[in-house]
Each structure stands twice: as structure tokens, then as C-alpha cells.
Amino acid sequence: MRPGGGGMPNSEGKAGPAASLLFGFHAPVSRRTYLVSGLLLFAAKYAVDWALSAGFAARPFGIVDYFNPMLSARLEALGERPEWLAFALLLWALPFIWVGVSMSARRALDAGRSPALALFFFVPFVNYLLIVLLCVLPEQASETRSTARAPSRASRAPKPALERLRVAALSVLVAAAFGTAAMVFSVFGVRQYGSALFIGAPFLLGVTSGFVFNRRSLQSASATLGVAALSVTLAGGALLLLALEGALCLAMAAVLAYPLAILGAMLGRSLASGPSGVQPTLSMLAAWPLLAAVPWDAAERFPVRAVVSSVEVDAPPERVWPNVIGFRPLPPPSEWLRRSGVAYPVRARIEGEGVGAVRYCEFSTGAFVEPITAWEPPYRLAFDVASQPPSMREWSPYEVVHAPHLHGGLQSLRGEFGLTRLPNGRTLLQGTTWYRLKMAPHAYWAAYGDYIIAAIHRRVLSFVAASSEAP
């Protein structure tokens, strides 16, 4: 085959089928084939995406918007659209992602580079640079050797490297599919955000990826760990794109998921190297749904937690009290609280006076309804929480995220403000929130819960103090 030619000979010198070229891992890919195939595939994908957006969204895809690698920005450019359109676009993109990775790996080999370059196909912005690079890199110059018969490109291609990449891709897909299915089963099937989901599932995801990756031949430990980490990333991306979770919660869970998946991957690698590793691996996978269904982490088992914060105010309690029972709109937060999507307080108002009055503390996601249970001006105000809004607005390409923990995962139960008179006309203002967090492992998630509630306390108490100290 001529350098840069468009034909795709197989080992017998005959043209291979188009499916083998696009989806396989063995047919070599020249510069010309990579460029022409890429342009044709782009045209086909853009035509369908444009037709779907023109038919069902407020605005069709513009060519500039289409090259934005951030899915959320592309969807936002469409304006008003049905919820299912994002899922349809995602499903249509999946085969093109596979083709892009497969052909990029073989084009890198054709140019004498590592097929691992294809992994950059998943990285926004960098993937465009990768495509341009692979379009211009020449093939490896083995035909310049002074040999009587130059080997064909197919014989020069290091097949073991391609086979390892194929097995790695299969391992990642299988493990990510298990992780996504585990999330759906635990959250929507047995309705638990428990230890089986956040500890057992990442560990078994790692076992699955490590076992599949090393089953045919033992791979290096570093490659196995890389496959496990990529599996966790792909599973998280699937949950994000399927609107089952948001980016912030996935980031918080990742602190647990990556180390556990890496430990599991090493176990899977060890099982794959033994003669009887299939049975224990399948047994662990089969046992996980049974463990997830057992109500170890039922809501009533979670303790009620209290977060206490305080601030000194340069004003007597009589001036602080009116700003406690209700306060004017707070300035928009510039700290991480607003950027993260966590609900933050906006203002508070009260209807009535004394025990039985109702206080409404309005957050960025809605209002807390707080019936007053103790009214002792100017020293103590206590209330229950009759209803509350979602705890956060998730980072997501979608307006609606189907994550049940947003509604009741963190359940506020009651609150209290205490005002203590200090010398020199000052006041110690203390705020307390009692809440229950219905997620496990409890100590892990409670650390996040305590931190977030303390940040909300600081925002409110600081504003009440500034309002009370103002002339």
C-alpha cells in the first residue's frame, strides 16, 4: 500500500469491510483515510444533530456552537428543548466516540506513536489538537530501510499494542456499565444511598475492570490501575449525562471511589492470574445486589446531628433581635457557596408573632417553612422545619437532575438562635441547626454536611451582625 493511500488492505491484501475500518482495532489507518473518514463522519453526525435540533429545539445547532466541546454549553445554545433531546443526541454520539478512539489509536500506530494518544480523544479542546496532529503526522519511515522487500503496513503495526488497547476499552466499558447499573439499582431500586453504593460498588467496579483487563494475559500493575481510574471516570460521566447525578456530588463521591476502585483492581488482577478466578469474581458481583437491598443504612439508623456557630456583635440584644426574626435580602455570595450550586440563604421574613408564628427563610432553591416553637425576645428564637427546598442545584447539562438525595437526603429538623448579653453593650449571637443526613458511610458524608451548614451559618450570622451594628 502506498504511503498516505486510502485503501485498507487486510493481512491477505484484500480490502476489508467498512465496519472493520471504523469499529475494529486491526485495520491500519493512513493519513488520508483518517482525514477523509473524519470529514465524512463529521458531516453525517452534524446533519442528524442539526435535523434534531431544528425540529425540536428553539434554535438549531450553529456550526460555531457545535464545535464547543462542552455539552452543557452546546445544549444551552439550543434554547428551549424537550428533555429527551439531550438523551437522543448522547446516544447518537456514542458510536462516533468509539470510532474516533479506535481510528485515532490506529493512526497513531501508523505514525509510529503510542496508541495511548487516543485517550486524549476524551479530553475537551485537546481532542481537536489530537485530530489535527494525527492528520499531519507521516507514517513511520520503515520503507526507507535498505531491504529488498519492505514489510506491509499491516505487518509493521504492533498488533499486541492494539490488542491491549481493545481489551482495556472492553474492561472500561464493562466496569463502567456495572457502576452505572449499581447506582440505578441502589438509588431507584432499593432507594438507599448506603455503604453498598459508595464503598462496595466502586470496589467491585475495580475488581471487574482489573479481572477483565488481565484475564487473557497479565498486564502491568500501572496499566491496571489506569484502567480502573478510567472506569470510575466513565461511570461518573455516564451518570452525569443520564441526568442521574450532578458534577458536585460526583466530585465528593470520587474521593472514596477512586481509591476503592484501585484496590479492587489489584484484587481483580490477582484473581485473573489464578486458575480459578472466575467463580469468586462472579460470586462477588452476584452478592452485591443482595447486600445493597439489606436496609443496613435505613434512615432511622442515622443520628441527628447539631451544628453550632457563633459570632460577637457590637450591639445589644435588643438591636440584634429584629434582624434575627427576619432580615432583608443578603448580597449575592461571591464565595464557593454560590459557585458550587449548594443552596444558600437569600432573606428571611416572619408572619405573626410569638409561638405559632411562621418564619420563612428563603434560599436560592426555595423557602424553608419554620413554625416558631420558642419566642423569648430578645434572647431566644427556636423553630421546627415543616418543609424545605432542595439542598442544592446540581451542576449538570440538564435543568432537572433525577437524584433523590436532593429532596430529603439532608433533612433539616429544627433550628435555634440564642442571644447572650455581653459587657460593653455587645451580644454573643449563636445559631444551631439540627439535621439528619440519610447517606452512608455516615461519618464521611456528615463531614460535608457539617461544613456546608457551618458555611450557611457564617453567611447569616455575619449579615445579622453587620445589620445590627449599622447606624
The reply to whether 133 and 210 lie within a common domain is: yes
The reply to whether 97 and 33 lie within a common domain is: yes
Residue 12 placed within a domain: no
Read off the pLDDT band of 336 (50, 70, 90): low
Residue 12: per-residue pLDDT: 36
The reply to whether 326 and 233 lie within a common domain is: no
Residue 152 placed within a domain: no
The reply to whether 313 and 273 lie within a common domain is: no
Classify residue 116 by burial, with Cβ atoms within 10 Å: 0-12, 13-18, 19+.
middle
The reply to whether 349 and 239 lie within a common domain is: no
What's the CATH number where 401 sits?
Answer: 3.30.530.20
Residue 440: per-residue pLDDT: 82
In our burial notation (b when 16+ CB lie closer than 10 A, e otherwise), range 27-57 reads bbbbbebbbebbeebeeebeeebeebbeeeb
* Integer Rg of the chain from CA: 29
Residue 324 to residue 312: CA distance in whole angstroms: 14
Q: Which three cell numbers stand for residue 324?
A: 434575627
The reply to whether 96 and 77 lie within a common domain is: yes
Q: Which three cell numbers stand for residue 194?
A: 448506603
In our burial notation (b when 16+ CB lie closer than 10 A, e otherwise), range 388-400 reads bbbbbbbbbbbee
Quick: pLDDT tens for 93-142.
878 877 887 788 888 888 888 776 776 776 667 788 889 999 999 887 65
The reply to whether 329 and 453 lie within a common domain is: yes
The reply to whether 93 and 240 lie within a common domain is: yes
DSSP letters spanning 66-135: HT---HHHHHHHT-S--THHHHHHHHHHHHHHHHHHHHHHHHHHHTTS-GGGGGGGGSTTHHHHHHHHHH
The pTM assigned to this predicted structure is: 0.68
Residue 450: per-residue pLDDT: 92
Higher pLDDT, 77 or 310: 310
Residue 418, strand partner residues: 380, 430
Quick: pLDDT tens for 14-61.
434 677 788 776 788 899 999 999 999 999 998 998 998 888 888 888
Q: Which of 261, 293, 325 is the last residue of a domain?
A: 293
Mean pLDDT of the chain, nearest integer: 82
The reply to whether 162 and 246 lie within a common domain is: yes
Quick: pLDDT tens for 257-291.
999 999 999 989 988 887 767 877 888 888 888 88
| Range in 71-75, 164-168, 192-196 with the lowest mean pLDDT | 71-75
Q: In the chain, what's the furthest Cα-to-Cα distance?
A: 100
Res 71 pLDDT > 70: no
Residue 67: per-residue pLDDT: 77
Q: Which of 270, 293, 316 is the last residue of a domain?
A: 293
Residue 247 is part of which domain span? 18-140+157-293
Count: domains in the chain: 2
Residue 104 to residue 36: CA distance in whole angstroms: 13
Q: What residue type is assigned to position 419 of the chain?
A: L
Helix, strand, or coil (residue 14): coil
Residue 14: per-residue pLDDT: 40
Q: What angle do CA 462, 463, 464 make, to 5 degrees?
A: 95
The reply to whether 385 and 255 lie within a common domain is: no
Residue 422 placed within a domain: yes
The reply to whether 251 and 334 lie within a common domain is: no
Res 145 pLDDT > 70: no
Q: Which of 293, 313, 338 is the last residue of a domain?
A: 293
Residue 319: per-residue pLDDT: 96
Residue 412 placed within a domain: yes
Res 460 pLDDT > 80: yes
Res 373 pLDDT > 80: yes
The reply to whether 22 and 123 lie within a common domain is: yes
Mean per-residue pLDDT, 228-245: 86
| Sign, CA torsion 296/266/170/120 | positive
Q: Which three cell numbers stand for residue 383?
A: 423553630
Residue 148 placed within a domain: no
